[in-house]
Amino acid sequence: MKDYRRFFVYLAGASAERFSKRFVFAWEFLATAVSLMKLVESWETEEDFREGMYFMTDTFMHTVNTYFLESPSHPQVMKFIQYVDEHLYDQLSVTLIADGLGMSPGHLARLVRTHLDTTCNEYIKRKKLEESVLLLQDMTLPIRDIADRIGISNGHFIRIFQEKYSCSPSEYRKRIVTGITADV
């Protein structure tokens, strides 16, 4: 098992280094790789490593696919993405973002729909949920504080987290502790 563990820690680190040199999203990818390296340390059985291999592959592919899906050629859509990333912990609305970018909410909504194939609100919700998954790895942060931090009421946060990941935030945390996060 020690050799498996060493191999997967190497795989997570080596992949992160290779991808981060090639793509612009180095910090996000490195954060994912570090999380995976910590997860690998908790694996004990051959089954853990087998499931872990699938989980690591899915996680890396999701990160790469996210990068390609969020690389629009339209400069206003790129500004929208940047605005959301920079204000992730704020209360966000289409009107607020459109005002910040100097355009009408309708025009912004059409651009986002055309170039990202989603609505502004769905994009914002997805980014906030992705951030919450990272924050949930800090076991010292209460779930209510995570919801507050990302600008979503606690009850609404739990509901939309459950809809997206098919488990509650507290169940997700339990899976982190036990090393079973392949479903999320």
- Gyration radius of the chain over CA positions: 18
pLDDT by residue for the chain (184 residues), tens only, comes to 555 555 555 555 555 444 444 444 444 444 555 566 666 677 777 777 777 777 667 666 666 666 555 556 688 998 999 999 999 999 999 999 999 999 999 999 999 999 888 999 999 999 999 899 888 888 899 999 999 999 999 999 999 999 988 889 999 888 877 765 544 4
Residue at token pair 């997700």? 172
Q: How far apart are CA 171 and CA 154, in angstroms?
A: 15
How far out from the chain centre does Cα 17 lie? 19
Q: Are 134 and 146 in contact (CB under 8 A)?
A: no
pLDDT at position 59? 65
Q: How far apart are CA 177 and CA 74, in angstroms?
A: 41
Q: Are 127 and 84 in contact (CB under 8 A)?
A: yes
Residue at token pair 């951030």? 131
Domains identified in the chain and CATH numbers: 2-69 (no CATH), 75-178 (1.10.10.60)
